[in-house]
Amino acid sequence: MRILDVTVQDVIRSLEEPAGVLESTVDKIICGRSHELVQGIAVSFSATYEALNRAAELEANLFITHEGLFYSHHEGAHEMLKSDPVYQAKQALIEARHLTVYRFHDYPHRYTPDEITLGLIEAIGYDRYAIRHLSSASIIHLPSGQTVRQITEHLKAKLQLSHVRVIGNMDMICDRIGITVGYRGGGPHLIPMYENEQLQLIIAGEGPEWETPEYIRDASALGGSKSLILTGHAASEEPGMRRAADRIRQQFPNVPVHFIPVAPIFQVV
Amino acid sequence: MRILDVTVQDVIRSLEEPAGVLESTVDKIICGRSHELVQGIAVSFSATYEALNRAAELEANLFITHEGLFYSHHEGAHEMLKSDPVYQAKQALIEARHLTVYRFHDYPHRYTPDEITLGLIEAIGYDRYAIRHLSSASIIHLPSGQTVRQITEHLKAKLQLSHVRVIGNMDMICDRIGITVGYRGGGPHLIPMYENEQLQLIIAGEGPEWETPEYIRDASALGGSKSLILTGHAASEEPGMRRAADRIRQQFPNVPVHFIPVAPIFQVV
């Protein structure tokens, strides 16, 4: 089979186009070349050492990652790592296997609706209950209410998670739910949303423990009906990247496209 | 028993004195009056609604908290909460019970050594193994190495935790360990520390999931010997506030001093 001359830049253009031009973004080719011909594409939430290695084994030369390569949202932090053996080994792997790594973070979050959030909503079968997509969260209306416990079990089954972290009342019945992904679990974002959107429950990735969780703790002490489920950062965003991989596969039917899942990062002991 | 005219300001002066004058700090009287006579003191990691209520029941009128009252490190975020029913109920409780709330965060972290870190180290019995106190972490040398699993079980037993989150190799033997508390688990702080201090393990409170944990994931994939235990933010800092309460009790023997623990914030389901 002949790969029809698709370049890295062709793929990037198709990925960025739905969001328009972003003035400020972390998305870019972190290493590699935009004019390279694409032999195969690997897509993942995180460009871990293992995921990069797997991509190379699959003969993919374009790696599309949501999170950064070097343990930081912004690139400035890389400098301090230059002498670190883990950093050096990862750089050496990328160079030896001629991988081009493109970060695809801000663009999918700026799709309408946010593709990363939409991926999560679809993965848990809530897309038909979405009543509104805000820029950083979606509002779900469950026609028949469910308890926090039922929703927790549903999430764990659909996302194949060994655990989630919950604060609030497990027996509370919810029909208005907010869904937000990644590091959007912070107080300034979520606390007003409970009241503004009349939510009983928000499902988020992660956020500082002393912000939204402490608010829910106080709300619970006052007999209120507010709960929070934290799935973990990767669990909340991996389905969106899987969705992106499916879309790329349709757009470039002649290029092999591999989605590479990452294992859960924590053991809960 | 007559309480010997101790004012709020007397207590604050004694708390701040060991750190000297801080140019910029979040520590201050969040509500109440510095000239008030102290009837009793409550000390806690977090001024939750329940903890404030308990303090009032104990007839304490000075509440010393490590974290903020309103779900934010900085006070600016309070404005958006003005119409929130949880905020309003908490404010009403503080006013009705005439509580003075003082935030004691930056000062204890600037003691030499950091009192919040020292509290954790003492609580887990590692104070005799501390070989160096940095400004934001302490270095422990265990004379006979222990596995990550043994250290995890030790921590859980000493801090009475139902769980911690671990990344790395549970069977790895560690003798050089970094200990850091609160939100100091981020990459720029911890990643260089592994190499600079030749640590096999760091015990931290919390931090962004895509930073240090992803670094440990890659280090593990490369066969490296690095692990991370996240105890949770409150679990890492509550012992330090308990230590502060003990010290205040010694300094003001005629004032009743109550340490109010907070329950674990998350259920892991």
Beta-carbon-side half-sphere exposure of residue A33 (alpha carbons within 13 Å)? 6
CB contact under 8 A, A210 and B267: no
Contacts of B233 in chain A (CB under 8 A): 208-210
Q: Give the distance from residue A254's alpha carbon to the nearest chain B alpha carbon, in angstroms.
A: 32
Q: Does A17 touch chain B (CB under 8 A)?
A: no
Is 0.90 surpassed by the pTM of this model?
yes
Return the HEC string of chain A: CCCCCCEHHHHHHHHHHHHCCCCCCCCCEEECCCCCECCCEEEECCCCHHHHHHHHHCCCCEEEECCCCCCCCCHHHHHHHCCCHHHHHHHHHHHHCCCEEEECCHHHHHCCCCHHHHHHHHHCCCHHHEEEECCCCEEEEEEEEEEHHHHHHHHHHHHCCCCCEEECCCCCEEEEEEECCCCCCCHHHHHHHHHHCCCCEEEECCCCCCCHHHHHHHHHHCCCCCEEEECCHHHHHHHHHHHHHHHHHHHCCCCCEEECCCCCCCEEC
Contacts of A208 in chain B (CB under 8 A): 183, 206, 233
- Cα–Cα distances in angstroms (integers) from residue B251 to residues B7, B247, B255, in the given order: 13, 6, 9
Res A77: pLDDT: 67
Helix (H) or strand (E) holding B20: none
Q: What is the DSSP letter of B42?
A: E
Q: Give the distance from residue A246's alpha carbon to the nearest chain B alpha carbon, in angstroms.
A: 24
Q: Does A195 touch chain B (CB under 8 A)?
A: yes
Task: Report how far residue B199's alpha carbon sits from residue B197's, in angstroms, rounded to the nearest whole number.
Answer: 5
Q: Does A95 touch chain B (CB under 8 A)?
A: no
For chain B positions 225-244, those within 8 Å of chain A (CB to CB) are 230, 232-234
CB contact under 8 A, B269 and A84: no
Helix (H) or strand (E) holding B183: none
Chains A & B: contacts with CB separation below 8 Å: 172
Res A73: pLDDT: 85
Res B73: pLDDT: 85
Res B78: pLDDT: 73
Question: Is the CB of residue B233 less than 8 Å from the CB of residue B205?
Answer: yes
Residue A170: closest C-alpha in chain B? B267
Which residue type occupies B229?
A: I
Q: Determine if the peptide bond prior to B261 is cis (ω within 30°).
A: no
Q: At what angle do helices A212-221 and B85-96 cross, to 10 degrees?
A: 70
Res A1: pLDDT: 46
pLDDT tens digits for chain A (269 residues)?
Answer: 455 699 999 999 999 999 999 999 999 999 999 999 999 999 999 999 999 999 999 999 999 999 999 999 887 667 788 899 999 999 999 999 999 999 999 999 999 999 999 999 999 999 999 999 999 999 999 999 999 999 999 999 999 999 999 999 999 999 999 999 999 999 999 999 999 999 999 999 999 999 999 999 999 999 988 999 999 999 999 999 999 999 999 999 999 999 999 999 999 99
Residue A50: closest C-alpha in chain B? B221
Q: Does B209 touch chain A (CB under 8 A)?
A: yes
**What do you get for the CA distance between the two ends of chain B, in Å?**
49
Query: Per residue in A94-143, pLDDT tens?
Result: 999 999 999 999 999 999 999 999 999 999 999 999 999 999 999 999 99
CB contact under 8 A, B215 and A86: yes
Q: Nearest Cβ partner of B166 from A191, A192, A267? A: A267
- Cα–Cα distances in angstroms (integers) from residue A200 to residues A118, A209, B99, in the given order: 20, 19, 31
Enter the ipTM: 0.96
Q: Give the distance from residue A185's alpha carbon to the nearest chain B alpha carbon, in angstroms.
A: 11
Report whether CATH 3.40.309.10 matches the domain B3-110. Answer: no
**B59 phi/psi in degrees, rounded to 5:** 65, 30
Residue B173, C-beta contacts closer than 8 angstroms, at least 6 positions apart: B145, B146, B147, B200
CB contact under 8 A, A212 and B71: yes
CA-based nearest residue to A237, from A115, A97, A142, A107:
A115
CB contact under 8 A, B67 and A211: no
Radius of gyration in angstroms for the set of CA atoms belonging to chain B, rounded to a whole number: 20
Domain residue spans of chain A: 3-110, 115-235
CB contact under 8 A, B71 and A219: no
The β-bridge relationship of strands A201-204 and A165-167 is unpaired
Question: Is the CB of residue A44 less than 8 Å from the CB of residue A66?
Answer: yes
pLDDT tens digits for chain B (269 residues)?
Answer: 455 699 999 999 999 999 999 999 999 999 999 999 999 999 999 999 999 999 999 999 999 999 999 999 887 667 778 899 999 999 999 999 999 999 999 999 999 999 999 999 999 999 999 999 999 999 999 999 999 999 999 999 999 999 999 999 999 999 999 999 999 999 999 999 999 999 999 999 999 999 999 999 999 999 988 999 999 999 999 999 999 999 999 999 999 999 999 999 999 99
For chain A positions 100-129, those within 8 Å of chain B (CB to CB) are none
Within 10 Å of residue B28's Cβ, how many Cβ atoms? 14
CB contact under 8 A, A163 and B73: no
Contacts of B166 in chain A (CB under 8 A): 266-269
Res A158: pLDDT: 98
CATH, domain range A115-235: 3.40.1390.30
CB contact under 8 A, B221 and A49: yes
Residue B125, C-beta contacts closer than 8 angstroms, at least 6 positions apart: B158
Q: Alpha helix locations (H) across B31-98?
A: 49-57, 85-96
Within 10 Å of residue B164's Cβ, how many Cβ atoms? 21
Task: Report how far residue A168's alpha carbon sits from residue A220's, in angstroms, rounded to the nearest whole number.
Answer: 6
Our measurement of the distance from residue B231's CA atom to the centroid of its chain's CA atoms, rounded to an integer in Å, reads 11
